[in-house]
Structure 1
Amino acid sequence: MNKIIFNQDYPKWLFWALTAAFALLHAACKKDSLDGAPVITNVRNYAASPADTLVNSITTGQWVVLIGHNLKDAVQISFNGIPATINSIMFSDTSATVLVPDIIPFPSVPAESLNTISYVTKHGTTTFSFAIVAPPPTISSISNENAHEGDSVYISGLNLFFINEITFAGTPITEYTSASNGTSIGFVLPALSHSGPVEISTKSGTVFTTFNVNDPVTGVLCDFDNINTLSWGTGTDNSSVNFPGNRGYYAVLNNDILPAGDGNWWNWQRSINTNDVQWIPQDSLAVPVDQYAIKFEISVPAAWTGTSVYVVKGNSFDYMARYEPWQGSDGTISPFTTKGWRTVTIPLSMFRTNDGKGAAAENLTTLLGSSANGSVNIHTRNFSASPSASGLHAAIDNIRVVKIQ
């Protein structure tokens, strides 16, 4: 055993004082190590092995793992100055799993914030330089796929900036307004000579629709003019006074305020019911359900709230798709109107059981049958336990099923 020998020149109390001081210093250093400012050393792809590799750049909407030290207790993580949504369950002292924001307004990001990851905890802040690149553009919707010359058209999506070229049905769009965050482009439609896709080319890439716009034929099941398969339920009109911007005849849905639970869709002007039509080619039944959508144009001149529009195939109500634009995804209610005509796109994957709120069909055969043939029925109903907040006065035209992927 080693012996501790005190020099008689130094009292024992001094030894114990020095020992205590060293212990406090050691504890302080250890605490600084545990509770110090965050440090990021690298970024890893968030994926199962072996795809969870270190990366040299990241893009919007990408899940990543930040590697470093002191990463617990994060209060804010920003990419190019845009805060991300954080989840404390996905953090440890040495790693943080986070989703890069879907929307980063690259053109307006200050130079000092470009290609930076800012990490803030309760104990400090760090800024890590890292390449954050704008991905190719995407298109999520087009306000009116069958607009007239002179109509305002809006394209919605992501990363719609740094634009090189836009074409609409093959016609160049040379004058447009782009949202600063890259989520929309607006323009006045020029004269069109034929049908075609929408194509947008940017510095980051190119996107084009798999379907055509200004297309009066492809997938059309009923247009109330040249392809008029309307059987019963409501009448048609071609007045440009009642519904300006129309393309010939259209069907009219009309009801007053509906009592609670009113589902009397068979009453006059409460439904559009066609003869049997071919929804999709029979040899396309094997493709995934979400690759097709039913579309139509709608015009709603007066505020609409509460009445639900839903679509079913044939006389079976096993699956239905509800269209309720007055209801937000967060449950909020806002009266809905359109300025002229608007294209409605309902992927066939949105046809669900349990009054449109249950499970989607596993495949197209389950949804459409082995022949994919049957009537298109668009009905109105009040699903609520209270009277509808308003009536509905709307026009519907150009009912079609097209491939969207």
Structure 2
Amino acid sequence: MKQNILNKNNRTCFSFLGMIFMALLITACSSDDDAAGGEITVNSVYLQDVDSNVPDREVNFARLGQLLRLEGSRFTGVRRAFINGFETSFNPVYVSDNSMLIRVSSDTPTIEAEEDVRNTIRLVKDNSETTIDFEIRSSAPTITEISNTLPSSGEEITVYGTGLIEVSSVVFPGDVEVTEGITYDEEDGEFFTVTVPEGVSEDGGSLYVETTNGNAYSPAYFNVERGIILDFDGMGELGEFGTTIRQGQLESEPIGMGNVSQGNYLPLRNDTIPAFAAGRNRVAEVFTSGNENWRSQFTPFIPANTPLEEVAFQFDIYVPEPWEGSGYLKILLINNFNGGEWSGGVYNYVPWIVDGEVEPFETEGWRTVSIPFTDFYLFNDGEDYTFEDLLQYRESATYKNFGIFFENSDFNLSDVTGRSSDDMEFPSSETSVQVYTDNWRIVSLETPTVTDFPEE
């Protein structure tokens, strides 16, 4: 009898405990369901930017590619998210009841989004959804190239980049501002044109551009006259040793449309040479005297510890007739090469090969070419070089002449691209192409940073 009572009491106890467990489980599931099914509240939006002095900043707009943290309540259970109507993926690991992380996709439409979803973020759960108003802007504008970085005042230049929408102001070095006569690419924002004003600083620097999409700086390479190595008009010294074109063979008759020649300039094929023969290297060569001192001339505005990727050789080029199929310029850091090299302290400029394809190259007027020194084969192995490494390389050389060859020898596409799989051959042929150069110079590629927010 006593045993039966004990068994009965045990059964009653276990039953009671089971009821408590079930009640707790039901309560927990009910709480989860309430959280997952309740209406989302978004109280604020924060920009997550680890590169900023304010890595977690409350904002009222964001740009493509930026990471956002939404703060509020009942985010648990969000299944889908839409920004400007574009379904945007997110990692549920970074979703809690009070916040979630989401990155604005680079594919998100901005001004082209449908009006009823433009500048909105929509979050969807199984049984509810919430939409908030939040401005989405295109990526910040950038400047990637300027058609001529040493033009004369009154000449027009074209500035290339991204996001250059409705350009309203261009500020030139020396704080010279232009607000009129600016034309821009209304469809894609990939370029604008502007006339160079009087009074631009001879020290040079960056262009500063204001657009409806934000502001941008160019690299600090505009009008850098103090960077000139050789302009054939008295700045720098034309060499005699190893040079096939002497001072008396320079030309000065004005040539080019838009951006016109400035004083003397160098024809790489002079009147005494009707054509360059095939299979020949250094068929024309021009050097500086080698007396120039790069350290004393350039380190006052390009410190020796500057990353080498932020320093470039620039020159102006004019090619009035299509150039393709044969010939290239070899640019030499020192006078220690015999021609034909695709390694060492040289860079081979082949402008008629673009993205691995032949594309005839010609210019209406004088155009600026910028070649970062990390493109030179000696420095293109991915190591962290500085301007000091380049200075020491030149200072240790026996012949410090800086120069350019015109070469007309055979080469492979892999020589240009650096990819061994590009096995297309380019056999040389006789060519009468005329290539003019001027204003050899060293410039900084450093680009000042523009931020949408104060760095507090």
Q: Distance in 1 between matches of 2:289 and 2:412?
A: 26
Pairing of 1:160-179 with structure 2 (within 5 A): 160-168=164-172, 170=176, 172-179=178-185
What's the CA shift for 1:368? Answer: 2.8
From 339, 346, 359, the counterpart of 1:320: 346
Q: Distance in 1 between matches of 2:333 and 2:65?
A: 38
- AA aligned to 1:365 is E
Q: Deviations over 1:197-222 (max 9, x none)?
A: 53323453463653442x5x311000
What's the CA shift for 1:404? Answer: 2.8
- AA aligned to 1:200 is V
SS at match of 1:175: coil
What's the CA shift for 1:191? Answer: 5.5
What's the CA shift for 1:133? Answer: 3.4
Pairing of 1:229-244 with structure 2 (within 5 A): 229-231=237-239, 232-234=243-245, 235-241=249-255
Contact 1:156–1:183 at 8 Å: present in 2 too?
A: yes
Residue aligning to 2:441: 400
Q: Distance in 1 between matches of 2:64 and 2:277?
A: 42
Q: Deviations over 1:71-128 (max 9, x none)?
A: 9999xx87x57899x9x9x99897997674399775x6664453246899xxxx9987
Q: Distance in 1 between matches of 2:361 and 2:156?
A: 18
The 1:82–1:332 alpha-carbon spacing in structure 2 relative to 1, beyond 3 Å, is farther
The 1:210–1:93 alpha-carbon spacing in structure 2 relative to 1, beyond 3 Å, is closer
Residue aligning to 1:192: 198
Pairing of 1:335-350 with structure 2 (within 5 A): 335-350=360-375
Report the TM-score when normalising by structure 1. 0.66
What's the CA shift for 1:322? Answer: 3.7
SS at match of 1:139: strand
Uncovered stretches (5+) of structure 1, i.e. residues with no partner: 2-32, 34-39
Q: Deviations over 1:165-202 (max 9, x none)?
A: 22445262511211123321113x35624436533234
The 1:327–1:369 alpha-carbon spacing in structure 2 relative to 1, beyond 3 Å, is same
From 232, 257, 280, the counterpart of 1:224: 232
Residue aligning to 1:275: 289
Pairing of 1:208-219 with structure 2 (within 5 A): 210-213=220-223, 217-219=225-227
Residue aligning to 1:24: none
What's the CA shift for 1:318? Answer: 2.1
SS at match of 2:353: coil
Contact 1:179–1:185 at 8 Å: present in 2 too?
A: yes
- AA aligned to 1:240 is P
Residue aligning to 1:246: 261
What's the CA shift for 1:361? Answer: 6.1
Q: Distance in 1 between matches of 2:102 and 2:436?
A: 48
The 1:93–1:61 alpha-carbon spacing in structure 2 relative to 1, beyond 3 Å, is closer
Q: Distance in 2 between matches of 1:140 and 1:81?
A: 31
Q: Distance in 2 between matches of 1:119 and 1:308?
A: 57
Between Structure 1 and Structure 2, the one with more strand by share is 1
Pairing of 1:345-384 with structure 2 (within 5 A): 345-353=370-378, 358-359=381-382, 362-369=385-392, 374-379=400-405, 380=407, 382-384=411-413
Contact 2:311–2:387 at 8 Å: present in 1 too?
A: no
The answer to whether structure 1 residue 64 and structure 2 residue 84 are counterparts is: no
Report the TM-score when normalising by structure 2. 0.60
Residue aligning to 1:295: 314
SS at match of 2:358: coil
Q: Which moved more, 1:51-60 or 1:167-176?
A: 51-60
Contact 2:228–2:236 at 8 Å: present in 1 too?
A: no
What's the CA shift for 1:69? Answer: 8.5
The 1:69–1:319 alpha-carbon spacing in structure 2 relative to 1, beyond 3 Å, is farther
Q: Distance in 1 between matches of 2:286 and 2:92?
A: 53
Residue aligning to 1:101: 106
The 1:93–1:134 alpha-carbon spacing in structure 2 relative to 1, beyond 3 Å, is closer
> For the pair shown, which has the larger CA radius of gyration, 1 or 2?
2
Q: Distance in 1 between matches of 2:428 and 2:85?
A: 42
Q: Distance in 2 between matches of 1:346 and 1:321?
A: 9
- AA aligned to 2:48 is N
From 185, 194, 217, the counterpart of 1:207: 217
SS at match of 1:349: helix
Residue aligning to 2:328: 308
What's the CA shift for 1:285? Answer: 1.6
Q: Distance in 2 between matches of 1:113 and 1:147?
A: 45
RMSD: 5.1
The 1:202–1:184 alpha-carbon spacing in structure 2 relative to 1, beyond 3 Å, is same
Q: Which moved more, 1:284-293 or 1:307-316?
A: 307-316
Contact 1:319–1:367 at 8 Å: present in 2 too?
A: no
Contact 2:335–2:402 at 8 Å: present in 1 too?
A: no
The 1:249–1:205 alpha-carbon spacing in structure 2 relative to 1, beyond 3 Å, is same
SS at match of 1:237: coil
What's the CA shift for 1:295? Answer: 0.8
SS at match of 1:156: strand
SS at match of 2:388: helix
